[in-house]
Amino acid sequence: MAHSSTRDAQRQPSLWLKLVALLLQVRWQNVVGLAIAQYISAIFLFNDPEYWRSTISEYKLHGLVFSVAFLVAGGYLINNFYDREKDRINRPIRTAIEASIKKSTVLYGYLVFTFLGSILALSVSGRALLYYTGYAVLMWAYSHKFKRITLLGNLLATFLVVIPFFGLLIYYNGYRWFIFYYGFFYSWLFFVRETVKDIRYYKGDVLTNYQTLPVVLGLKQALRLLQIHALLGILIAVGLWWHPFNFWLHGLSAITIIVFASVVFYFRGKKTVSRAKELHTVMRLLLILGILIIPVLR
Average pLDDT over residues 78-89: 86
Residue 96 confidence (pLDDT): 81
Specify the pLDDT at position 67: 97
**Higher-pLDDT residue of 28, 208:** 28
pLDDT digits (tens, 9 = 90+) for 7-53: 544 556 677 888 888 888 999 999 999 999 999 999 998 988 888 89
Quote the pLDDT of residue 156.
93
Contact 293, 192 (CB under 8 A): no
Residue 222 φ then ψ, to 5°: -65, -35
Q: Is the pLDDT of residue 6 over 90?
A: no
Q: 298 pLDDT exceeds 80? A: no
Which pLDDT band holds residue 138 (cuts at 50, 70, 90)?
very high
Averaged pLDDT, 191-213: 88
- Span 12-175 CATH architecture: Orthogonal Bundle (1.10)
Is the pLDDT at 289 greater than 70? The verdict is: yes
CA-CA distances (angstroms) from residue 220 to 193, 215, 273?
17, 10, 11
Please state, in angstroms and rounded to a whole number, the distance separating the CA atoms of residues 25 and 21. 6
pLDDT 10s digits, 215-270: 898 888 888 899 999 999 999 999 888 877 788 889 999 999 999 998 888 776 56
Q: Tell me, what's the pLDDT at 273?
A: 75
- State what percent of residues in the chain have pLDDT above 70: 94
For residue range 126-135, what is the model confidence (pLDDT) as tens digits?
999 999 999 9
Q: For the CA atoms of 150, 281, 263, 184, what is the dihedral angle to 10 degrees?
A: 60
Tell me the average pLDDT across 190-204. 90
The alpha carbon of 12 is separated from its chain's Cα centroid by a whole number of angstroms, namely 32
